[in-house]
Amino acid sequence: MGIQVAAWQSMYADVLPPAVLAELAGSEAGERFREEWRGSLESPPTSWHRILVSTERRTVVGFAALGPAGDPDRWPATDAEIYALHVDPDHIRLGHGSRLLNAAVDHLTDDGFRTVHVWTLEAPNPLRSFIEATGWSPDGARRELDVGESVAMIRFHAAISEQDA
């Protein structure tokens, strides 16, 4: 949970309102995050939902949450989604994000998925730059994140099976 908050505060400092970034670190948000994480780990929605972690010296420094795509225009039997991909800001550019992304794709391919998607803020940010640098492309889908004001998001995709390459 702390990694997620730190990553959002670092990645989106220039995009999200300061009040939203401050609220993320508050005790109420922290308790809500803990409950959500506990629930997702104790009782994942399907056997295809996974949380992968990256460690350094026995400390978790990054994570990826993944599973079937949840968007109504995607088919959850063949389309997957990376719901979150975050690395602690003190550990970026050390390969953790790349290893997490590769491991996520490996798991999703093993589970029979053909494409994978990820949502990111439309404005320039480190996650978008990372996803673009790995060869993913926007697929035209857009949505708004309501954080007291609307923030535009776009969806990226990549083919992960030979059938769709």
Whole-number mean pLDDT of the chain? 88
Give the per-residue pLDDT at 1.
Answer: 59
Domain layout of the chain by residue ranges: 45-164
pTM, whole model, 2 decimals? 0.87
8-32: pLDDT as tens digits: 778 777 877 788 777 777 778 777 8
Helix axes 2-11, 126-133, angle to 10 degrees: 90
CA dihedral 31, 69, 11, 50 (to 10 degrees): 60
141: nearest Cα among 114, 118, 164: 118
* Architecture of the CATH domain 45-164: 3-Layer(aba) Sandwich (3.40)
Half-sphere exposure of 82 (CA within 13 A, CB side): 31
